[in-house]
Structure 1
Amino acid sequence: MTGDTDDIIALRAALAAAEARAQVAEARAASAEAQIAHLKHLIARMRQDRFGASSERGRRLLAQLELELEELETTLAEDAPENAADPAVRATAPRSNRGRQPLRADLPRERVVIPAPTQCPCCGSDRLSKLGESVTETLEVIPRQFKVIQTVREKFTCRDCESITQPPAPFHPIARGRAGPWLLSTILCDKFLQHLPLNRQSEAFAREGIDLDTSTLADWVGACTATLAPLTALIRAHVLAAQRLHADDTIVPVLAKGRTVTGRLWNYVRDDGPFG
């Protein structure tokens, strides 16, 4: 009887400790959710006022708030009951439903069917009929793949006049270049849209087994800039022909030899909408 009493006391102590940990986790989650809501409110207000007089300082503060929000959401996810290491906390703490949005219907689906049992686990009978199914959708990404396109131009000779004919060479965005249009557009988008420098892109390519030096990427970017110059001129002429223009001056740091200099970006937006 003494052993049973000790086991009961130990179980009660374990349950009490689990309940205490669950209460602490709930309090931390509630505090984190309140901070997240407050930060989201501040970020929403700053996004509305980011084009004010102190827009550059506001952008830096906005980026800092977004980083803090990301850290809070990560911490909250780590403390979630389904991610907790203690089974007692996972069993006792309530699970909050944040209204997860369904995945887009136009995304390709891969159906993986788990083999069903052939016999009933309770009575061992093999007379099983399908009642329904439960589908769990998981978002996954396929890493980008590189391929080499071989363009073959066959040569033919005439047996009568002995002349040689061959189809003309295909068009390439860069003369005598070995980069396809999709690769060039990826490099340009990563540089100008994602603000990823060419040296980091070169390192990322190297990790994927593709040797592309930074100087090579710089040559490709320069060639693409020259190729897109007519399109840039057309856009510039279209924007500057408007009756009303909105301009913005942004200061950005620019890397120079051994130091950082100040660069300026001028953005012009054409607005053909009515006043008010």
Structure 2
Amino acid sequence: MSFTPDIDLAAIPLEQRGAVAALVREVAELKDINKRLEHLVAELNHAVHGKRSEKLSEDERQLAFEDLETATSEVEARKETSAFSERAKKRTKPAARRNIGNLPDHLPRIEQVIEPDSLECPCGCGEMHRIGEDRSERLDIVPAQLRVIVTVRPKYACRSCTDGVTQLPAPAHLIEGGLPTEATIAHVLVSKYADHCPLYRQSQILARSGIDIHRATLADWTGKAAFHLKPVVDRLAEHVKTSTKLFMDETTAPVLDPGRGRTKTGYLWALARDDRSWGGGDPPGVVYFYAPGRGGENAERFLAGFNGILQLDGYQGYNRLTRPSRKGGDPIRVAHCWSHARRKLKEVFDRDGSQIAAEGLRQIAGFYSVEADIRGTSPGQRLSARQARTAPLVAEFGQWLQRERLRVSVKSRLGEKLAYIHRHWEGLQTFLTDGRVEIDSNSIENLIRPIALNRKNALFAGHDEGGNAWGRIASLVETAKINGVEPFAYLKATLEAIANGYPKSRIDDLLPWNFKASS
């Protein structure tokens, strides 16, 4: 909760109230930032000095440190963009922040000389002469190639007077005074969140090229990028939730719990739009939200503002979304997944060879046969075919289900599977009433797979804060991929645009599906 000093603005002269109110807001913001930093420092100390910290392997410690440092850097970026920080910059010139490491001489240098538009002296004395220059170096990464970008800014002065020095300002950078170009930052993000390579391993890879950059530095870059990309991800979520039909699923995201010397179970919730199967006009997109638990209140919070049909599996935590008391919108209509229903019967058949399960699988195969015939057609055509061909098959399956439930013990393995299908029977029929609805939620499960792969390679997130960054960057990477956009090119261009002050009023231009690669 923000801290607000108890100040009576009425007692302050009218012409000073605006300035005082601004200072009060700035003080409150800085107190919030400091409180956040104190919390992260405490978490870091707990990871290092906690009673069971000795149980952590070196890899586990590295993951914990990089995610905590990413979170700290994100808070610092917020502090640097505050109004207080902007005024401080005007009063004093900040010292350049030098990152750990150096740029070896053997790396190729590409000089970018930034010349003034005119060399004519402002006082009319004639042409100015070059008297010096400022040079800066940043590490740039082109996939499979390391190089150094050298920015040269010549200074020109008039020989006849002392008032005619001209030099162009340095170009804007996402990380002022830092080593990386925006391309380098994009490469780190894609390597971590798309190629599943943790930061400490990236540090080891760079070391093989003679570049000594600690994983703490890479975490700093990642945290700043996560901060600056947050508005784009928030807008992506808003855009996706304007749809009237979405998919949702959740998957485990193991998170290191340093105080206990083991991992705890966090969750990444995927909210996706994919209307390509029926020619919908909205581009596909996915947003991953991190939560430390699987409670249905998390889904309710993430879905605030969405009204429509939600396609999902049978997890009972979603039930609260269908109630009149739902927070954040109207009761949601659920479309359950026939693939999950089929999977329940397949498990029994594979284990026991049950002929009842085999019959259920045969009937469900009839539904999918119709779906194969109508794939890619319009919603109206899909709905007509389903009502004419699939609805009688589903009705027959429903009668079969009720008969078999009376014959099979509810405590048996098969009885449990039939009961599962019965509980979700209403949602399993939703696809018969709306041609936009899919027969299953396989689309969202395909979007969950990259998260599972990252989980396998990175083992776990180093901290809850790492889960948030994981979800944020993965949202942009995976949305780019399903729109046929190369993630590195997209992130590079987006970070460059943000560094150059891209206007918030045009933030939609930065969404992955609006990206156009330069020729």
TM-score grouping bracket, smaller chain normalisation? 0.3 to 0.5
> Highest relative contact order (Cα 8 Å, sep 6+), 1 or 2?
2
- Larger Rg over CA atoms: 1
Could you tell me the TM-score, scaled by structure 2's length? 0.25
Could you tell me the TM-score, scaled by structure 1's length? 0.45
